[in-house]
Amino acid sequence: MQDIIKVTGLSKQFSNIKAVNNLSFTVQNGDVYGFLGQNGAGKSTTIRMLLTLITPTEGEIELFGLNLKTHRHQILQQVGAIIEKPDMYLYLSAYENLRLFAKLSGVHCTKKIITDQLHMVGLGGRENDKVKTFSQGMKQRLGIAISLVHNPKLIILDEPTNGLDPQGIADVRNLILHLSREMGKTVFVSSHLLNEIEQVATRVLIIDKGKKIVEGSAAELFDPSQTIVEIDTLDNKQCMVLLQQSSWQQYLQPQRSHTILLKLHRNSLPDLHKWLVQQDCALLSLQPRHTLEDFFLQVTSGKQYVEAFTN
């Protein structure tokens, strides 16, 4: 399978901050590649280097098998990107915006192609409305349509769901799946929210302080046998004592707050629930946790990253 992105030993130093530190990864044709990290982890800096908006301090970037330094123009013709909020003309309609951006990219689009693109991003029926009347989610979807206007092979989206409401987030998620599954695009998408990436990604890279923490297939990394569950009861101290004396003891995780954490297979949850009720634990909640911090707990045996996030 062809490598669409190949990054080797990439670093970026800003005066006294090493925003990206010796990062290497590959994105293959057809991947929805989830790029995860907390705020400030170095995601935008990496994406800016992929788009030649800033120059790496060290390292090599190849896209489509070509060196980005020597084949910049040829490469960027095949890339569509949204970084930060997409720029568009608020007093023009969605149709007029898309036609304008197509012209600026030197692409000839018929009325039908533009209308079809707007339908594809879920803006069918709203094509003649001014963008100033659009919700944030609709603007984001129009931004994605604009980034697709030159039919790129690779789409790079930097935190595309930032500032969106739940409906807007779901729309962008479905659009990413559509781009990948129906249109055969390779998508590189960054986020600080694990559950957004979990629902769309085929491969995942997690970085922290500019460094790779883990990279792997989504199926490997989001392993149901490693589910982190949080329990809250009216008396957590007493519940903890009972758990420590039981066979559930082997699943207990170091406590990070007043609640109790276990790492076990998702299928064990009904048994755990039953057991807690039998012990008369006054259960307030029992739920799998889906934060990036929990994920670090799942994928790292050491506690260093958990501590980094709880301190």
Ligand X SMILES: Nc1ncnc2c1ncn2[C@@H]1O[C@H](COP(=O)(O)OP(=O)(O)OP(=O)(O)O)[C@@H](O)[C@H]1O
State the Rg of the chain over Cα: 23
Q: Is 55 a residue that touches ligand X (CB under 6 A)?
A: no
- Looking at 4, 34, 36, 44, which residue binds ligand X (CB under 6 A)? 44
CB of 47 to ligand X, least distance (A): 8
Q: Is the C-alpha dihedral spanning 191, 194, 199, 200 positive or negative? A: positive
Q: Is 43 a residue that touches ligand X (CB under 6 A)?
A: yes
| Residues 179 and 120: beta-carbon distance below 8 Å | no
Count of positions on this chain that bind ligand X (CB under 6 A)? 13
- Looking at 13, 22, 40, 57, which residue binds ligand X (CB under 6 A)? 40
Q: Is 253 a residue that touches ligand X (CB under 6 A)?
A: no
Kindly indicate which of the ranges 14-22, 81-89, 180-188, 226-234 contains the residues binding ligand X, using the contact rule CB under 6 A.
14-22
| Residues 143 and 86: beta-carbon distance below 8 Å | yes
* Residue among 48, 36, 34, 138 nearest 86 (CA): 138
Q: How many other CB atoms sit within 10 Å of the CB of residue 143?
A: 23
| Residues 210 and 41: beta-carbon distance below 8 Å | yes
CB of 277 to ligand X, least distance (A): 41
- Looking at 41, 76, 175, 200, which residue binds ligand X (CB under 6 A)? 41
CB of 22 to ligand X, least distance (A): 15
- Looking at 34, 42, 122, 152, which residue binds ligand X (CB under 6 A)? 42
Q: Is 53 a residue that touches ligand X (CB under 6 A)?
A: no
Residues contacting 173, CB < 8 A, separation 6+: 161, 196, 199, 200
List contacts with ligand X (CB under 6 A). Answer: 14, 17, 19, 37, 39-45, 159, 192
